[in-house]
Chain A
Amino acid sequence: MLTIDNLHARVGQQSILKGLNLQIKPGEVHAIMGPNGAGKSTLSYLLSGRDGYEVEGGSVQFMDDDLLEMEVEDRARHGLFLAFQYPVEIPGVSNMEFMKESVNAIREQRGEEPLSAAEFLKKAKEACKQVQLPLDFLKRGVNEGFSGGEKKRNEIMQMILLEPKLCILDESDSGLDIDALQVVASGVNSQRNSERSFLVITHYQRLLDYIKPDFVHILANGKIVKSGDASLALKVEKEGYAFLGIEATEEASS
């Protein structure tokens, strides 16, 4: 599904990723944890194709394609989905219009007919209920005036509608209370199957109680310093990163 090989990248003059390796197979759930400033968000933005990240070396293979050569929208059309840590508010564009456009762009890539307004509405209502958002959220501007938790649930609703192959969740648990966390997690779990893979980026082990990972990786100073199973996350939770010889930096990851 995804093969990251010796990836080096920088933002401006600052090197952030310094030789990152990661392999994700279909159906696997990988979690990445790490201290602030380790490069977690950089990795997710870079994979989705955001401007401003310069690859200095290494490669990323997404199924049969060289991911780094693809435009942002093509990555999405080929099945890559990023649930944003800070989803953007777009007043004036309704959630419904946005998601319909998006779903149909992806269907076109797959060689499927676009959904009619009625067909889409039906699916959208189901997804909306699944993440426990009131139906009027479909009519509102994209994320406009949504609370932090509502934005995260809106991301999961999009994920459900777009049926991606690889889902990257960038701190989808941050700022959520326990109820919202459960809604997000059960939305994610409902989408797990033998074909679909997940990369779950999080600060806290708590999310992994609800979304059980197959693999846990610790990202520090731009590379994976330790990989293991779910027990690794528990160990980090209990002992911090010190046992890995990592000093937590003061720098915030963004």
Chain B
Amino acid sequence: MSAWLQQALERSQANQDWLTPSRNRALAALQSTPWPSRRTEGWKYTSLSALEQLSAEAPAEQPLSEIPAIEGLDCLELVFLNGQLQSDLSTLQLPAGVRIDSMASLPPEQQVLATTQFANIKPERHLFGLVNDVLAQDIVFIQLDDGCHLPQPIRIVHQSTEGQQSHQRVLVRLGHKAKASLIEQFLGNQSSVTTAFTELDLAEDAELDHYRLALQSGQALHFGGCHFCLHHRAQLNSTLIGYGSALSRTDIDIIHNGEHAHAKLNAIYLLAESEHFDLHSTIEHAKPNGTTEENVRGIVGDKANAVFNGRIHIHRDAQKTLAELNNRNLLLSRRGQINTKPELEIYADDVQCAHGATVAEIEEQALYYLRSRGISRSQALIMLNFGFIQELVNQMPNQQLAAWLQPQLRARFKEMEVQ
């Protein structure tokens, strides 16, 4: 076990009884798992040394006065500062059909019920998921009743501040035919550690629009994950936007656990300076007739480092699966690095599956077209490459959110090209 984790465990508060069983399980798993090195599968290109170099001293926590709103978007807000729910900044009045609970405040039998219900979504192989199991002090539980169509998005904002560690766990359950939109937003550029795992269970015919805005940058160390379980005919449309930081790692798992489920995952990363961003995605097709469409696109500037590992696993019974995975990258500097690896494991014989990964390959036709209008080659490349990021932003079902993001992404992209 790492010195950092040892120290974090010592600093962590007294156990809550209802969390003890899962915490003990995770602790045992962590103790039997070697701490990753560059030789560990899944951590080949991502070093954890920044974690060990953290100062143990934490400055006093600053209170949070406000969180920037998303213009034009009325959300149910849940605001966390360094892992603690800020009830004064959160929406406490909820529409019918939705419940949001801090599990610490629920009666014991409900706590136990909820933890057993969700124990299976996050796979044990996620090291920082286990770390989160061990260190999280509470769980936020969001439940939508059967048939509930939530008109506003739920927005969960996680803000971290200098020297702090936060460990958040969110469970989301959408009932039969429920429909919702969830925005998870991570903020904070100062030296801090965040582990943030969300487990989402979509019952039959449920529909979820999901946005994970991993916008922590600078010195923030971010370890996050989203784990989706899709039941019969469930529909997921998820967008991940990642900025790099001193160390940022996100694991996304989608399990097709019922037939005819559909998953769309679009991911974008924009990295500047010497930032690091690592995305591992795993799509499990365990049942027949599922579809997955995954588009991952990134732009890497300066000395930044991007890692993408995209795995699609089609189980033997998952006939008639349609799965596509595509990763495109642009490297803006010779000092930057991109390590990309699509992985297909197919055990069914009647499936359609495609994957591809490219680095800085621009469609010559489009380049020629722009140049034929007087635009320089270098400017045309920038436009086309930002264009392919924008293409995914344009696909976001929530266009108000897209309109709010667009200028920020553009500003970040401009910074990258200046270097």
Contacts and interface: CB of A to CB of B under 8 A. Distances in A.
A49 interface: yes
Given A88-B365, A105-B376, A71 B371 contact: yes
B388 interface: yes
Contact of B384 (A90, A158, A162): A90
A61 to B, nearest CB: 20
B373 interface: yes
A72 B388 contact: no
Nearest to B379: A101
A251 B375 CA distance: 34
Interface string B373-395: 11111011001101111110010
Contacts of A93: 370, 383-384, 386-387, 390
Contacts of A102: 370, 373-375
Contacts of A72: 368, 371-372
Given A73-B377, A92-B390, A92-B391, A48 B384 contact: no
A105 B369 contact: no
B112 interface: no
Given A90-B366, A91-B391, A158 B373 contact: yes
A76 B371 contact: yes
Interface string A30-66: 0000000000000000001111000000000000000
B352 to A, nearest CB: 23
A87 B370 CA distance: 11
A49 B379 CA distance: 18
B364 interface: yes
A90 B383 CA distance: 10
A9 to B, nearest CB: 17
B368 A50 contact: yes
A241 interface: no
A109 B383 contact: no
A97 B374 contact: no
A97 to B, nearest CB: 7
Contacts of B363: 88
A109 B374 contact: yes
Contacts of A99: 373
A73 B375 contact: yes
A48 B390 CA distance: 29
Interface-centre pick from B366, B374, B375, B376 (highest chain A CB count, 10 A): B374
A82 B369 CA distance: 10
Given A51-B364, A91-B391, A82 B372 contact: yes
Contacts of B394: 91-92, 141
A75 B394 CA distance: 33
B414 to A, nearest CB: 13
A75 to B, nearest CB: 8
B376 A90 contact: no
Interface in A67-97: 71-73, 75-77, 82, 84, 87-88, 90-93, 97
A80 B6 CA distance: 69
Contacts of B384: 90, 92-93
Contact of B374 (A76, A87, A91): A76
Contacts of B377: 71, 73
A76 B368 CA distance: 11
Interface string B167-193: 000000000000000000000000000
A162 B373 contact: yes
B369 A73 contact: no
Nearest to A74: B374
Contacts of B366: 88, 90
B184 to A, nearest CB: 25
Interface in B380-419: 380, 383-384, 386-391, 394
A214 B361 CA distance: 44
Nearest to A72: B371
A106 interface: yes
B53 to A, nearest CB: 39
A239 B376 CA distance: 46
A98 B373 contact: yes
B375 A48 contact: no
Contacts of A51: 364, 368
Interface in B97-149: none
Contacts of B390: 92-93
Given A87-B369, A92-B389, A141-B391, A105 B383 contact: no
A91 B371 CA distance: 17
A120 to B, nearest CB: 14
Nearest to A48: B372
Contacts of A101: 370, 375, 379, 383
Given A93-B383, A93-B390, A88 B374 contact: no
Given A51-B368, A87-B369, A88-B366, A73 B391 contact: no
Interface in A153-187: 158, 162
Contacts of B365: 88
A77 B370 CA distance: 12
Interface string B45-70: 00000000000000000000000000
5 contacts: A73-B380, A76-B372, A92-B394, A97-B383, A98-B383
For the complex of A and B, the 10 pairs showing the least CB-CB separation, nearest first, are A92-B387, A92-B391, A76-B374, A102-B373, A93-B387, A105-B374, A72-B371, A92-B390, A88-B369, A73-B371
Given A51-B364, A88-B369, A90-B370, 16 more contacts: A51-B368, A72-B372, A73-B371, A73-B377, A82-B372, A88-B365, A90-B369, A90-B387, A91-B394, A92-B388, A93-B370, A97-B383, A101-B375, A102-B375, A105-B376, A158-B373
